[in-house]
Amino acid sequence: MAAKTVKTLLGNAGVLVNGPNPWDIQVHDERWYKRVYNQRNLGLGKSYMDGWWDCKRLDVMFFKLLQAGLHHNTPKRLRYLLKLLPGMLFNLQTIMRSRIIAEKHYDLGNDLFFSFLDPYLQYSCAFFQDTQDLNEAQHNKLQLISSKLNLQQKDHLLDIGCGWGGLLKHITERHACQGTGVNISSRQLNHARKFCKELPVKFKDQDYRFITGQYEKIVSVGMFEHVGHKNYRTFMKVVHDCLKKEGIFLLHTIGANRSKRSCDPWITKYIFPNGMLPSIMQISKSIEGLFIIEDVHNLGPNYDKTLMAWNNNFQQTWPDLSKNNPKYDKRFKRMWEYYLLSCAGAFRARDIQVWQLVMTHDHPGRKQPECRF
């Protein structure tokens, strides 16, 4: 029954088992059918890591599955639903639990991330306007953010979730403003301090809930996905309290087309523990009475290209990466490429988005900010 059901569902999306196309699945272990039937997304990812199946074009396979709406049409099994309940019922992103994502993902090793990122170490969606080159596209993204924030020399920019410091380095080099970065990843912060050593930038090992001070501009890129639906309002209140009256806030986040209170079980278990993608409705509800949305920009299709470029870099650098660090074994490689390529397919199918939202204080007489959208 499991084999027949799985084959039928995949076939409805144009993906064959042991078929001739590069996006078809080649099964090496017959237990795969039951595992996928029972565990759905989690079983599909785990069995790939275990080498039970292969696919030459994982990105195309996921694009086809998601474009066909397979994730909405498959029967929901009780055990699968139970894995989603914690995110619905509990706050998985409390202060006590906030550092789990840093320990499990961002502190994996700078050598891993540096093997596929651009010189400014941007681990977020690039902007492929008038270029197909990743480094140029990431530079475009940083320039786009600078323009939207209308950065001036007098400004002090707060970067919430500052990564390895690349955004602050780029901006302070070009605009001579001050910068403060807040992060909870020790490895990222250690590098950021060295990366921006000669610049007017300081970094704090701090949860966003403890941020104080006043800033002309605030930015957060690729961090809101770790906040969680029970904390969206708290996050926005912190930003509101720290942003000066005539200031500008830019939020750059991956987002879901539908409001959710949980994330894909495989991504949660192996890549981003306790992650959660906000919808536009959830974001707008969290800022009501606090901010005016000045601009919304969807960069989603650019993330497909970004992820494909990352995977290409990762594959090219893998021999040296794995040779120099034994923890990067064959199973890790399969996990990482599955992550990058499945996400590329998801963005290509428009199943998930990337938004940049420009916001200002919601107060009487607020003038529209002088910035280029």
> Under 8 Å CB-to-CB from 211, ≥6 apart: which residues?
158, 160, 182, 238, 242
Tell me the pLDDT tens digit for each residue of 287-317. 999 999 999 999 999 999 999 999 999 999 9
Is residue 272 within 8 Å of 221, Cβ to Cβ? Answer: no
Angle, vertex CA 220, rays to CA 361 and CA 337, nearest 5: 150
Q: What is the pTM of this model?
A: 0.92
Kindly state the DSSP code that residue 288 receives in the 8-state scheme.
Answer: T
State mean pLDDT over 326-332: 93
Banded model confidence at residue 168, pLDDT cuts 50, 70, 90:
very high
Q: What gap in Å lies between CA 238 and CA 46, rounded to an integer?
A: 38
Q: Is 263 a residue of the active site?
A: no
Banded model confidence at residue 106, pLDDT cuts 50, 70, 90:
confident
Looking at residue 88, its pLDDT comes to: 42
55, 263, 343, 371: the catalytic one is 343
